[in-house]
Structure 1
Amino acid sequence: MRKDLIATRQAIEQGHIHAQAVAEECLALAQSDSCQHAFIQLTPECLNKSDSTQALQKRPMAGLAVSIKDLFDVQGQVTAAGSVVLQGQAPASVDSQAVARLRAAGAGLIGRTNMVEFAFSGVGVNPHHGTPAAWDALTNSAAGSTFEPRVPGGSSSGAAVSVATGAAFIGLGSDTGGSIRIPAALNGLVGFKNTARSVPTQGALPLSTTLDTVCAMTRSVRDTILAHEILSARKVPSAHRPLPHYRLAVVNNLMQDHMDPHVTRAFERSLVTLRAAGAQIEEIALPELTELGTMMSAGGFSPAESFAWHQHLLAAHADQYDPRVAQRIQLGAPMKAHQYIDLVNARSAWIRRVEKALLGYDAILSPTTPITAPKLADVAPGAERDAEFFRVNGLLLRNTSAINTLDGCAISLPCHQAGDLPVGLMAWHAAMHDDTVLQLALLLEPLLQAH
């Protein structure tokens, strides 16, 4: 893994490397085969902001490269959300609020990243712009006789590959059901889904106005904290609690079901490592998780709310949509107003019960996804692979989407051994526990990396 943002910034400030050289390397990587299909458009502003050491001292990200998911408005650019149906729209007149905050911190925007069309999948496949391969899986497989690309995870697929390859230090994305944490897990990155209300969504094309969260992927927890501080416009307080003073739990139902052997080994090894370091980890049952299927039986928030946004576009241009995305959006068409209101009320009551069950715990630990990155060939566009695609999509989204329903916060940390396919460990809790989850992640990260 390449240096993180903070280490790079320190090297520039100490004169070990010039900011211009860093910017040029990021752009070269963005244009290389390692980032094939990761970017939809390159806009190397980092080259124009990288030569001022004085600026580095004043602004936390001056000149350092950040990639922007194609979901966000950037002044003068078209926001197409990975589609072709919106490519003819007028360019954005102003930056989205998240982009504006990154710019104010001095970020150098390097380009718009590829994504699942309209952010509606956890797999990462895009039939219009191609699909980038999961980068860590690629490098780990390079020594083998045959390389088989694996899915990058979605919907923030290009954002993940841009950070994993070194083209960007921060990948701005969104998380409605796992779209930051899934690609983070499959590419060996850190991905943080903050409490949704803590970062404004203004200027981001919506999938579900109830669940959408603006957040980012990075190469380290300390970079994640910096990114969150910029996006939320607040400081994360330092904590001085040692690991044994945190009370942690592992949910023994649903989130550990149907794990593949790679994930099982990495997750169990991680728990052994953390317990050996003094972590208090209890196994708990959280039966409320099994209620989610029934709660969403009428369709769920994402189909209903996305159909409200897309219905006129679909009526006129359905043939220009990814058929798998169109199919999921159209699941929202039959939902009646009373069913939607019932869902809103059921979710509120469910959140209260889950929050009560989690009282006294600082965080819950789970696998981010129960499976490692599947082979891209098995889920590539094509009706003959739709059944496998939707099976994989459901598994990838299962654990992460529960946190969005909870209106909670969660971080995915790499927990696999070198040479294995990437696996993520997710630490999570209910709304507004962001600081505790981030502070805990700082303690977990070196322990997980050590093995």
Structure 2
Amino acid sequence: MPNISTLASLAADLESGATSARKLVEECLAKIADASGEGSRAFIHVDKEGALGAADAMDRLRKAHAAPSPFAGIPVSIKDLFDIKGQVTRAGSRALEDCTPAGADAPVVARLRRAGFIVIGRTNMTEFAYSGIGINPHYGTPKSVWNRRVGHVPGGSSSGAAVSVADGMAHGALGTDTGGSCRIPAAFNGIVGFKPTQRRVPLDGGVPLSFSLDSFGPLARTVQCCATMDAVLADEAELPVLQPRPVRGMRLAVPTTVALDDLDYEVAKTFERALETLSRQGALIERIEVPEFLDVGAMNAKGGFAASESYAWHRYLIVSKGDVYDPRVHVRILRGEGMSAADYIDLLGARKSFIAHAEARIAPYDALVMPTTANTPPVIADLADDKAFATQNLRALRNCTLINMLDGCAISLPANREGEVPVGLMLAGAGGRDRCIFELAAGMENVIRV
């Protein structure tokens, strides 16, 4: 693995005095302000004074041997979907600009602060989190790390979150994941993104897309970084030091149903190379049919949970502010207007059956393994056409959505070699298997890119 700053290495530098919280914040602020970089598009709001003040406070606490955690003083970014006390939560939209500032931090933001992490700013996102591409017509679209001269999409909806970490404007990011919104931008920017089991992390204080599918998770540079942030978000007493699982003996299932359809050449090549590497290292890999995955398309045919539940939240706001919505988001929300109560009740029943049958099918394996997305990051200019946008959006979301519908947990690891287009490899499991997924991912993250 390249020599990169991790939460653990930064904590060690803070403890030894090799750096300070103020220095870390100043370095991140400088990168955000760099006119040649993506800071102006990756961030909707930068809290320069607040971050510097918090950094000085953490340095004083560390000097007094009273730092709240080893990670106190490390700057992180917060997706614009979350409440931060004293700030307006815009959710990447112009429709909420005149709302009252939040009276309190969202619980996940409060937990990060309590551990001493420093909130450096609010990151850009797909408006109301309703796309896996990451384009935002209101605040601009940050470019993926790949081939910036051309300009590729960052992935969504946590677009600015991923770019902030990849470009060193923050050392971790808080995102959300309803159908891949942590994992897709992680895959498109060569970092790690984690979707926890939904029930582990409270959803209060975040603008909802789908309360059935939403989950709040981290984006960071390594599996251990994500595991550390995840434990803070879940309010777990001890921050985990992962014991990577040996690759030899891992039982991995590759679902051949849906998940391998219509892959870009580079995705298929990189994924198969990773599987071959894992197999040579002793992993037991079995390709299996998962016919339950065929049911997800039918469940989403009328808009699914995202359309119905987002429409319930937006229906009054759309009346007064619908003209300022991104048209591509607006039309997707309005699909929920045509869903009846009976449709929704049928959907609940179908999902319950899907989870039961899919969990039984994958139970013999340590994890599912599949490409995070079917596509590599599309060129931004190629998506001006609505049909092209819709096609690439569905291809980005498809595999990740399977796991949200399963109420499972999943992580995306960079699988490409240096100099290659970013491709993510996703490990996934049933709900509650979070620790296992982290251990498996930690065991293979330094192997699959060889």
Alignment TM-score > 0.5, same fold: yes
- The match for 2:308 is 304
**Partners of 2:74 and 2:242 in 1: CA distance:** 24
**Distance in 2 of aligned mates of 1:294 and 1:58:** 48
**In 2, Cα distance between the equivalents of 1:198 and 1:100?**
16
Instruction: Note if contact 2:251-2:366 (Cα within 8 Å) is conserved in structure 1.
Output: yes
Tell me if the contact between 2:67 and 2:116 (Cα under 8 Å) persists in the aligned partners.
no
Equivalent residue, structure 1, for 2:440? 440
Distance 2:7 2:435 in 1: 20
Residues 360-416 of structure 1 deviation map (CA, whole Å, 9 limit, x = unaligned): 111010000011100011114xxxx11100010000000001100000000000000
- Supply the AA of the counterpart residue of 2:267: V
Residue correspondence of structure 1 range 53-132 to structure 2 within 5 A: 53-54=62-63, 58-132=68-142
Shift of 1:190: 0.2
Candidates 226, 236, 244, aligned match of 2:228: 226
Matches within 5 A, 1:26-45: 26-32=28-34, 33-34=36-37, 35-44=39-48, 45=50
Q: CA deviation at 1:128?
A: 0.4
- Aligned counterparts of 1:240 and 1:174: Cα–Cα separation in 2: 25
The separation in 1 between residues aligned to 2:86 and 2:151, in whole angstroms, is 34
Rounded to whole Å, the distance in 2 between the matches of 1:248 and 1:94 is 43
User: Do the aligned partners of 1:47 and 1:63 also contact (CA within 8 Å) in 2?
Assistant: no
C-alpha RMSD of the superposition? 1.5
1:3 to 2, 5, 16: 5
The answer to whether residue 365 in structure 2 is matched with residue 355 in structure 1 is no
Q: How many residues align?
A: 438
Amino acid at match of 2:315: Q
1:303-359 per-residue CA deviation (whole Å, 9 max, x = no partner) reads: 000001111111122111000000000000010001100100110011000000011
User: What is the TM-score with the length of structure 1 in the denominator?
Assistant: 0.94
Matches within 5 A, 1:147-162: 147-162=149-164
TM-score of the superposed pair, with normalisation by structure 2? 0.95
Q: State the match for 2:430 in structure 1.
A: 430
Distance 1:60 1:41 in 2: 27
Please state how far the C-alpha of 1:267 moved relative to its aligned partner: 0.5
Query: The residue matched to 1:387 in structure 2 has which SS?
Result: helix
In structure 1, the gaps of 5 or more residues are none
CA contact (8 A) 1:181 1:368 kept: yes
Runs of 4+ in structure 1 displaced over 6 angstroms? none
Distance in 1 between residues matched to 2:435 and 2:261, nearest whole Å: 29
Are 2:49 and 1:47 equivalent residues in the alignment?
no
1:46–1:107 contact (8 Å) kept in structure 2: no
Cα shift at 1:58: 3.8
Matches within 5 A, 1:347-386: 347-380=351-384, 385-386=385-386
Contact 1:288 1:350 in 2 (8 A): yes
Distance of aligned partners of 1:56 and 1:402 in 2 relative to their CA distance in 1, 3 Å threshold: farther
Distance of 1:349 and 1:401 partners within structure 2? 16
Q: List aligned pairs for 1:230-379, cutoff 5 A.
A: 230-234=232-236, 235=238, 236=240, 238-239=242-243, 241-379=245-383
Q: Is 1:412 matched up with 2:412?
A: yes
Q: Is the 8 A contact 1:46 1:63 kept in 2?
A: no
SS in 2 for 1:245: coil
Counterpart-to-counterpart distance in 1, 2:289 and 2:19: 51
State the Cα distance separating 1:237 from its structure 2 match. 7.4
Contact 1:46 1:64 in 2 (8 A): no
- When residues 237 and 42 of structure 1 are mapped into structure 2, their CA distance, relative to the original with a 3 A threshold, is closer
CA contact (8 A) 1:13 1:56 kept: no
